[in-house]
A and B are shown apart, each in its own frame.
Chain A
């Protein structure tokens, strides 16, 4: 009875925007595993669910596609898994074709293609409540008869129809599985036309057009896609997003700050003065605390990105930005990876897989780390709060928020300029067609948004808890050993390994106004940008004679303004993220691109910091 151990494998396949992921979440709840497919960095989402018949089913959420004729790495995964060609991935026992019940035409063609694969199949009409509200009448029995597969209706966000769906999985799983060979092959243009005609005939026979069509999407697009109004609204949304990241997060961050300070005091009260106390409070608690404190900002940013995505706005943003991207030689679709890179370059680089053309994709990958990722937020916030007065300008905007906005603008414009240089001067060729669906607007489901935001938060904390914490311990070690000799006149860190290293690098960094402490902080900062904040904290907390002032206050005494501005300019470009370089290596399957990326970003960072430092000094800062 070895089969009893192996769960029945169900794969969800569907068009993008069909609510496939919402259905996956509704089916599997918290029992999900997110990983990568071996060898490629396409996200693999799997969950487990038990059917009414007691069958244990593993559900695989495959990347969305319009056809099995794969054009991007994501779609290649979908095709190969469906066809059982994917090494290390068993062929799904049952294919579940997920359709947006309000938009059946294209998915019917996909369903016909999936049928040719020969596996037992089930058609799910998701968002059925919206279809009913619009008065779309679907003859389910007729549709099922015509396609030769069971048809069920669901409302994933209300968890409706899930038992029906799983009941049909029971039925299909119980069928005698006489193997039907796949007759799928890549369709020619003529075959796609024929499939369209078949789908059209099925539509006409079994689906009556809506009595109350969705006029909301049309009305909203009248404004949101409008060349002037729409662009202004997009700018406003981005502006609000960054103001929110800055101001909403403050109380939460203060709370986290206070929590870690309290923890440090508790340690100080119970642990005797010495190496252990220094390790716990200066190394571990201060280090981890200075990273965790940025969790609220990261959550707020992802909240906006996921909300806009689920609302259906991201495709509109791509439409509005296509021309701008085109100027830089990029594709409107590159806007989404670049926008994701505002959160983190890693998912941004990974989402560049939606770009089919290899050169477009490589260019997008190469410039993605220039957009301001959330790991820079800690560095920017720290320096801004230390050096930029907290004033209101023009009656409504905070000066600190404006400087932040300026840094973001510097990031995105440098990304576009570098893309332009690559695409128009180095690799001159026409760009890929820009052809995207503008999905109907939908009210985002709070639970799905919350799940997405929490998942991102967990990923960040996991990084803070592992990589960053261990780097913090390393820097604490480097800055505590060897300890100062008896009768030392300088702060202890001056005698440590970190001090030696910092002094060694200092001559290189002097032309851009960096102190040796900054040079020290840049070394562990190679692991991830935000580590530099923790590192500065450690370096200065260890070096400081009185332990009272916060890091920002310490810095504002220790650095001239020109140095602070130079440090900000450095961080607009600095390639300090091992994970990004590692992901680029994985995505491009060569060390060439990460090395080029590292070199060009380092050169830009040095040049920018040099210019800013000397300009600031010349202006008397």
Chain B
């Protein structure tokens, strides 16, 4: 099954984290790919983690709140682009 980006999913979607592949975040004053990857990993976005999107923000459906294994996290879609996931049916 092909991987999609977490940022492309909507409320209620669930699946598995397949990997981290940052895009962008390399502009001046930004944290860079390696740092973003480590932060996402430290927050639990690790290969094999199960997730479900539980809420979306009011404007532009951003940010998103999700259940990630046993915990809950929130992030912006812009940063969620870096997370490759496999969507469960």
Contacts and interface: CB of A to CB of B under 8 A. Distances in A.
A438 B79 contact: no
A196 B46 contact: yes
Contacts of B63: 319, 322-323, 332, 434
Contacts of A106: 42-44, 71
Contacts of B67: 218
Contact of B76 (A200, A433, A440): A433
A435 B43 contact: yes
Interface string A70-82: 0100000000000
Given A429-B27, A432-B31, A225 B46 contact: no
B84 interface: no
A227 B58 contact: yes
Contact of A189 (B34, B70, B71): B34
A227 B57 contact: yes
A264 B50 CA distance: 68
B41 A189 contact: yes
Interface in B1-54: 20, 24-25, 27-31, 34, 36-44, 46-48, 54
A435 B79 contact: yes
A315 interface: yes
Contacts of A189: 20, 34, 37-38, 41
A217 interface: yes
A357 B40 CA distance: 16
Q: How large is the interface on A (under 10, 10 to 19, 20 to 34, 35 or more residues)?
A: 35 or more
A435 B73 contact: yes
A105 B54 contact: no
A323 B70 contact: no
A435 B39 contact: yes
Interface in A406-424: none
A479 interface: no
Interface in A585-613: none
Nearest to A67: B42
B74 A319 contact: yes
A298 B44 CA distance: 38
Interface residues of B, number: 43
A510 interface: no
A221 interface: yes
Contacts of B37: 189
A155 to B, nearest CB: 20
Contacts of B20: 189
Nearest to B75: A435
A189 B27 CA distance: 21
Given A69-B38, A434-B79, A438-B73, A429 B28 contact: yes
Contacts of B71: 103, 105-106, 437-438
Contact of B56 (A221, A227, A439): A227
B77 to A, nearest CB: 10
Given A189-B41, A323-B63, A430-B30, A231 B58 contact: yes
Contact of A429 (B30, B54, B59, B62): B30
A436 interface: yes
A434 B43 contact: no
Nearest to B29: A429
Contacts of A322: 57, 62-63, 74, 76
B56 A435 contact: no
Interface centre among B25, B28, B59 (most CB of A within 10 A): B59
B54 to A, nearest CB: 6
Interface string A140-156: 00000000000000000
Contact of B27 (A226, A332, A430, A436): A430
A433 B55 CA distance: 18
A66 interface: yes
A388 B50 CA distance: 56
B74 A359 contact: no
Contacts of B29: 357-359, 429-430
Contacts of B47: 193
A320 interface: yes
Contacts of B46: 193, 196
Interface centre among B40, B41, B60, B67 (most CB of A within 10 A): B41
A238 interface: no
A193 B41 contact: yes
Given A189-B20, A217-B72, 15 more contacts: A71-B39, A104-B70, A221-B54, A225-B55, A322-B74, A323-B60, A429-B30, A430-B27, A434-B76, A435-B43, A435-B75, A435-B79, A438-B65, A438-B73, A439-B72
14 contacts: A69-B38, A103-B70, A189-B34, A218-B54, A231-B58, A319-B57, A322-B57, A322-B63, A322-B76, A323-B62, A358-B29, A433-B39, A435-B79, A436-B74
Interface of A: 66-67, 69, 71, 102-106, 109, 187-189, 192-193, 196, 200, 209, 217-218, 221-222, 225-228, 230-231, 315, 318-320, 322-323, 326, 332, 356-359, 429-430, 432-440
Closest 5 pairs (CB-CB, A-B): A227-B58, A438-B72, A225-B55, A433-B79, A429-B29
